Amino acid sequence: MSLFKRSVVSEIANHSGVVFSTLIVVWLSVVLVRLLGEAAAGRIGADVVIGLAAFTTIAALPTILAVSIFVGVLTTVKRSYRESEMVVWFSSGLSLMNWLNPVMRVAVPVACLVAFLTLFATPWANQQIEEYRARYEMRSDLSKINAGEFLETEGGERVFFLEAPESNDYTFGQVFMRILDPQWFVLLTATSAQTVTEPNGDRFLVLGKGQRYDLQLGSPQARYAVFDSLGVRIESKDSAQSQATARDRALNSRRARPTSLLLQDTEYDSWGQMMWRLAIPWAALNLAFLAIPLGAVNPRLGRSGDILIAGLVAMLYMNLINISQGWIIYGKLPFSIGVWLVHAAFGLMAGLLMWWRMRIKTPKPPVVTATDSAATS
């Protein structure tokens, strides 16, 4: 490999690596904040936050890799123009077309990795995410209770709040519980609580000394009782059947369905999802090619405008892919056309931009005036 190719490949790889690591850190920060908010609201368990963050990141890797290779090529070309290094290469007999070989040396492996992710890894990651959420919804109310947290279960019909125990004799400390049924509004308070599992598998939350307030909805009637012990049955949903149900629910999602099963489906939703899985690898190649003419700028002009235009072009590309996917899903665009239409348009745009950057203008003939003619004669 020549010096030119080695230097370009190395620089593109370095820039793409920096962009990739930065995007991963930003993505993980956003995902963790969102998942921690869901855990605080009781929609997911705190014990699955790290797992969900990891699988969500795997699902986002194809888009992150496509953007990273685009920015890596763009910054490499722009730096070469800005520091007048491109003049040296042009003086050595090279042209902008010679950038295609080293750029593709980096872009093709990345596109192959993106294809593997979109066709196999991303559906698996989405399936794990759906199973995590489905299993949490099917867990018993008792397994979702954490000391010091409010928890809503059964569509808001039950609300729990349990404090940490003051001694090891009990599972929980003071307890507040609200139960809502069609006729009564029930409030329970107790000084302690512990979990009990019967031999038949039924699970109970056994409250210690406390009070019970029953208020009849729409009526002034009320009841008050003091108890030394009270058991509240918590339906247990953890079973092998529940695990199978969670897996079936995950497979019902198009994003989580394996590619082999997706190809057997004839519905528009499946074809739209298949189009997206094939589109992202092609987008990685097209964006890498498109970055070459977009990065070819005049070093004496400002660079903010060119970067903004390049970013808008990449965003337009990704948005058009999503729009085409939506049209395929709703039957407005055939799959046989939607799978290549956006890529062909942007490939043609990249070719035209490359030609425009490489064109050589014919020098204009000098304008001869009457004074010049007289002086010559």
Q: Are residues 10 and 123 in the same domain?
A: yes
Most confident of 157-161, 303-307, 354-358: 354-358
Contact 44, 133 (CB under 8 A): yes
Contact 175, 162 (CB under 8 A): yes
Q: Is 93 buried (19+), middle (13-18) or exposed (0-12) by CB count in 10 A?
A: exposed
Tens-place pLDDT, residues 222-259: 889 999 888 877 655 544 444 555 555 555 677 888 88
In a domain, 25, yes or no: yes
23 against 201, higher pLDDT: 23
Q: Are residues 119 and 250 in the same domain?
A: yes
- Given pLDDT bands bounded at 50, 70 and 90, which one contains residue 15? very high
Overall domain count for the chain:
2
> Which amino acid is present at 255?
R
| pLDDT > 70 fraction of the chain, expressed in percent and rounded | 82
- Given pLDDT bands bounded at 50, 70 and 90, which one contains residue 316? very high
Segment 259-269 shows an average pLDDT of 84
Q: Are residues 153 and 132 in the same domain?
A: no
- Picking from 120, 118, 125, 126, the residue whose alpha carbon sits closest to that of residue 280 is 118
Q: Are residues 12 and 104 in the same domain?
A: yes
CB crowding 154-171: b at 16 or more within 10 Å, else e? eeeebbbbbeebeeeebb
Q: Are residues 60 and 42 in the same domain?
A: yes
Tens-place pLDDT, residues 41-85: 767 877 789 999 999 999 999 999 999 999 999 999 988 888 888
Q: Are residues 208 and 299 in the same domain?
A: no
- Picking from 354, 359, 361, the residue whose alpha carbon sits closest to that of residue 98 is 354
Q: What would the 3-class secondary structure string for the chain be? A: CCHHHHHHHHHHHHHHHHHHHHHHHHHHHHHHHHHHHHHHCCCCCHHHHHHHHHHHHHHHHHHHHHHHHHHHHHHHHHHHHHCCHHHHHHHCCCCHHHHHHHHHHHHHHHHHHHHHHHHHHHHHHHHHHHHHHHHHHHCCHHHHCCCCCEEEEHHHCEEEEECCCCCCCCCECCEEEEEECCCEEEEEEECCEEEEECCCCCEEEEECCEEEEEEECCCCCEEEEEECCEEEEECCCCCHHHHHHHHHHHHCCCCCCCHHHHHHCCCHHHHHHHHHHHHHHHHHHHHHHHHHHHHCCCCCCCCHHHHHHHHHHHHHHHHHHHHHHHHHHCCCCCHHHHCCHHHHHHHHHHHHHHHHHHCCCCCCCCCCCHHHHHHHC
- Given pLDDT bands bounded at 50, 70 and 90, which one contains residue 310? confident
Q: Is the pTM for the entire model greater than 0.85?
A: no
Look up residue 111 and give its two tokens: 């596109």
What is the C-alpha to C-alpha distance for residues 56 and 59, in angstroms, rounded to an integer?
5
Domain enclosing residue 229, as ranges:
145-236
Segment 335-362 shows an average pLDDT of 87
What is the C-alpha to C-alpha distance for residues 289 and 64, in angstroms, rounded to an integer?
17
What phi, psi does 369 have (nearest 5°)? -95, 170
In a domain, 149, yes or no: yes
Cα-trace Rg, the chain = 32
* Residue 191 reports pLDDT greater than 50: yes
Whole-number pLDDT of residue 30: 95
Whole-number pLDDT of residue 300: 62
Q: Are residues 97 and 204 in the same domain?
A: no
In a domain, 73, yes or no: yes
374 against 183, higher pLDDT: 183
Q: Dihedral of CA 262/268/269/271: which sign?
A: positive
Segment 326-354 shows an average pLDDT of 93
Look up residue 117 and give its two tokens: 């992710």
Q: Are residues 95 and 157 in the same domain?
A: no
In a domain, 18, yes or no: yes
Q: Are residues 107 and 254 in the same domain?
A: yes
* Residue 104 reports pLDDT greater than 60: yes
Whole-number pLDDT of residue 239: 47
Q: Are residues 110 and 132 in the same domain?
A: yes
Segment 301-308 shows an average pLDDT of 65
- For all residues of the chain together, what is the average pLDDT? 83
